[in-house]
Amino acid sequence: MGSERPRWVEPTRALPLRWGHYSDRYAFGLILIVAGGIQLQGSNTWTLPFLLIGTLAHATGWAIMPASGWRRLVAVVPASAQLWILLTGPLSVWTFTVPYLCWLLVRHRPPRSYVTVLFPLAAGFVLPRFFTEYSGMAPALGIALAVVVASAWLARMLAASPERTGARALPTSSQSR
């Protein structure tokens, strides 16, 4: 009847969860993903246990994110492996595209939002021109992470606004009658 559009709901929020609450799992999952990555990147040959702790925290974060189970399992291995590759220095910041793709998968983003992967990939090729030594890893990581976060928000906006992309929203049960 009316032209009122249904309010967009995060796809993972609509999933039935077997345990916990959506907000708690999302917050703790995100905290563990980021904290595990920071823990692992802060390790060195004298702090080898931090490698294990960071990897386990990171993997646990992916495992508890609210999403379809297979998506979480698919994300754990490549995202964790990327953290280890990142230990080689600023030349490998392009690998941030791997966990970003995992994020899009786990957050159930539509295919049109995958175009945003170009931003972390571009940053990964530009940043090593400015940060070549491992001493520049902290600023390179900070900038790369900022690009990934901005891209994730852009992907969310693309997913939430089908009218801008030409896609049509599916009718709700009340509209289809």
- Note the pTM of the prediction, 2 decimals: 0.83
Question: How many residues belong to the chain?
Answer: 177
Token duo for residue 167:
């896609």
At position 113, the amino acid (one-letter code) is S
Ranges of each domain in the chain: 21-163
Token duo for residue 89:
């220095």
Per the listing, tokens 């990897």 go with 55
Q: What is the pLDDT along the chain (177 residues), one digit of tens a residue?
A: 555 666 777 888 888 888 889 999 999 999 999 999 999 888 877 888 899 999 999 999 999 999 988 899 999 999 999 999 998 889 999 999 999 999 999 999 999 999 999 999 999 999 999 998 888 899 999 999 999 999 999 999 999 886 544 444 444 444 433
Residue 88, CA atoms < 13 Å, CB-side half-sphere: 11
